[in-house]
């Protein structure tokens, strides 16, 4: 069956999420390049485990804040809802995402989130979560959500860790090495793929002035270990806060991977791979 894609009604470039479009297909190659990713590297097919075509959601964007949306509502209907695409083809019912356009924070990023249990709050690093897209679906074995991030301003307040299995693609906002190397912090080691994502704020007093790597023997109960599942000591990335030593609120951070040890400055971390071999890996930001 040929892939069907809903017509583009919004720009696909810009800062704010203005809507979404859906692609249907029965082959892996039918998945569009800009489809939402699942935050842990699991399948991003919304219809996985059910009969009917595969379903992939892609965000559309706008540079106009007035076109931005603030969230989504799930609607389950017996009849077609205008030209809103059905997320459950072949099921005999219509499951659609209705856009919320309320004052306040506007969405800039979206992703899929699969969970074995019901969730009422978003996972670490995300600001919003939809209702369960699989609510009331016969044969559903897991919960499925859309998670979102909102525009918080130009300053970086933290860098959070996400995990993925195998060769799963990282999220679009994952930090990538400036030389084009692997963005996986665990590259060259066993364990899961580990990716870093910056979190933003509009309040300069909440902005990070720098980061440091701390090695520890403590268990990681919140999933922020940079060496998740690999050998060696657990390691954490900790922001330094406050206005001191002439430093300024951080607006940019980059990942640096090198075969040689670099001279550490006040505008970079120590080696993230300290004590476990592999490449030399650092976070770096504009100096004061």
pLDDT tens, position by position, 217-230: 776 545 688 888 88
Are the CB atoms for 279 and 259 separated by under 8 Å?
yes
Of 150, 169, 192, the last residue of a domain is: 150
Is the pLDDT assigned to residue 259 strictly greater than 60?
yes
Shared-domain flag, residues 42 and 136: yes
Instruction: Give the integer Cα–Cα distance in Å for 202 and 157.
Output: 9
Comparison of pLDDT for 168 and 65, the residue scoring more? 65
Comparison of pLDDT for 237 and 287, the residue scoring more? 237
- CATH number of the domain within which 92 lies: 2.100.10
What's the confidence (pLDDT) of residue 5? 37
Task: Select from 252, 255, 237, 108 the least CA-distant residue to 174.
Answer: 255
| Number of domains present in the structure of the chain | 2
Instruction: Give the integer Cα–Cα distance in Å for 47 and 118.
Output: 18
Is the pLDDT assigned to residue 58 strictly greater than 90?
yes
Stated as kind and residue range, the H or E segment containing 56 is: strand 54-62
**Tokens 């044969």 belong to which residue?**
139
Range of the domain at 69: 4-150
Judge if pTM exceeds 0.85. Answer: no
Residue 220 exposed, middle or buried by CB count within 10 Å (0-12, 13-18, 19+) = middle
Shared-domain flag, residues 110 and 45: yes
Q: How many residues does the chain have?
A: 288
Of 101, 120, 150, the last residue of a domain is: 150
**Tokens 């959601």 belong to which residue?**
57
Are the CB atoms for 236 and 226 separated by under 8 Å?
yes
Instruction: Give the integer Cα–Cα distance in Å for 107 and 105.
Output: 7
Shared-domain flag, residues 94 and 221: no
Of 100, 118, 150, the last residue of a domain is: 150
pLDDT tens digits for range 108-129: 889 999 999 999 999 877 888 9
pLDDT tens digits for range 10-34: 233 457 899 999 999 988 889 998 8
Please state, rounded to an integer, the average pLDDT across all residues of the chain: 83
């Amino acid at each position: 069956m040929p892939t069907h894609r809903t017509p583009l009604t919004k720009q696909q470039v810009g800062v704010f999420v203005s809507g979404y479009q859906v692609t249907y297909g029965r082959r892996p190659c039918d998945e569009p390049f800009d489809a939402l990713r699942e935050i842990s590297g699991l399948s991003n097919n919304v219809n996985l485990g059910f009969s009917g075509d595969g379903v992939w959601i892609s965000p559309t964007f706008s540079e106009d804040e007035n076109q931005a949306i603030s969230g989504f509502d799930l609607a389950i209907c017996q009849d077609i809802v205008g030209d809103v695409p059905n997320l459950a083809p072949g099921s005999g019912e219509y499951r659609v995402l209705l856009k919320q356009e309320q004052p306040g924070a506007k969405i800039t990023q979206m992703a899929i989130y699969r969970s074995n249990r019901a969730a009422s709050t978003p996972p670490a690093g995300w600001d919003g979560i939809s209702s369960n897209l699989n609510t009331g679906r016969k044969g559903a074995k897991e919960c499925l959500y859309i998670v979102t991030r909102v525009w918080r301003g130009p300053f970086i307040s933290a860098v959070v860790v996400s995990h993925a299995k195998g060769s799963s693609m990282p999220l679009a906002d994952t930090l990538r090495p400036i030389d084009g190397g692997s963005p996986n912090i665990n590259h060259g080691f066993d364990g899961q793929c580990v990716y870093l994502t910056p979190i933003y704020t509009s309040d300069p007093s909440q902005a990070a002035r720098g980061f440091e790597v701390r090695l520890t023997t403590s268990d990681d109960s919140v999933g922020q270990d940079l060496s998740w599942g690999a050998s060696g000591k657990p390691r954490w990335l900790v922001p330094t806060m406050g206005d001191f030593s002439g430093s300024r609120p951080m607006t940019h951070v980059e990942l640096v991977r090198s075969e040689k040890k670099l001279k550490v400055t006040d505008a970079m971390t120590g080696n993230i791979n300290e004590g476990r071999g592999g490449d030399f890996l650092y976070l770096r930001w504009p100096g004061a």
